[in-house]
Structure 1
């Protein structure tokens, strides 16, 4: 194992652990916010980005430290997994950038009208006839 492999292993490990810790913290945030029935779109986008980034780090581990054989199927799967993870990461970054530069990082979704077994628009149509 070369020095580059060791540095990459350390960097990937730190990134992966930090992303998992942030996802756990965001999960707790969302659980609390769902009880209050209001969710921040910016935090939702951050959660999506971190999820895609964590998958990307797992794929990076898989690619970097798998046996370097000439298995075409494994290589194809790794390439496809990397492309999906990179696309999710890029999409998350684009959403976060748009929210930030349009100064929309304080948008919230109010979930008070959404209840189990109830149409949220049923009350608004009942008196319109």
Structure 2
């Protein structure tokens, strides 16, 4: 394993740990907001994006670590599919956040008591 591999593994690890800590903080935020029965759509989109990013960092770490150990065709296919799934989720989250930012609708909220009417 070369120097670049070690640096990338360290960077992916730090990114993954930070993303997990942020997800935990957002989870606590959403617990409070659900009790208040109102959730910010912007924060929900950010949570979705961060969740996809966390998966992406886990897959990146897995790819980098397994490339040093050698892989077979089935594992390479799993890597590719996991990366595509994580990238699609990250892209979808970015699209939502971008739309909310550029339409200046950052203050949209979902009132959870209104969701019962839709059932």
Aligned match of 1:84: 85
TM-score by length of 1: 0.85
Q: Give 1:10 deviation, angstroms.
A: 1.4
1: CA distance, partners of 2:118 / 2:61: 47
- Within 5 Å, give how 1:88-107 maps onto structure 2: 88-107=89-108
Aligned match of 2:53: 53
Aligned match of 2:70: 68
2: CA distance, partners of 1:68 / 1:98: 41
- 1:53-82, CA deviations, whole angstroms, 9 ceiling, x for partnerless residues? 00011111111111223x111111110110
After superposition, the CA RMSD in angstroms is 1.5
Q: Give 1:46 deviation, angstroms.
A: 0.4
TM-score by length of 2: 0.92
Quickly say closer, same or farther: Cα 1:91–1:35, change in 2 above 3 A. Answer: same
Residue ranges of structure 2 left out of the alignment (5+ in a row): none
Q: Find runs of 4+ consecutive structure 1 residues off by over 3 angstroms.
A: none
Residue ranges of structure 1 left out of the alignment (5+ in a row): 123-129
1: CA distance, partners of 2:3 / 2:40: 42
Quickly say closer, same or farther: Cα 1:121–1:13, change in 2 above 3 A. Answer: closer
Q: Secondary structure at the match of 1:112?
A: helix
Q: Give 1:121 deviation, angstroms.
A: 6.2
Aligned match of 1:3: 3
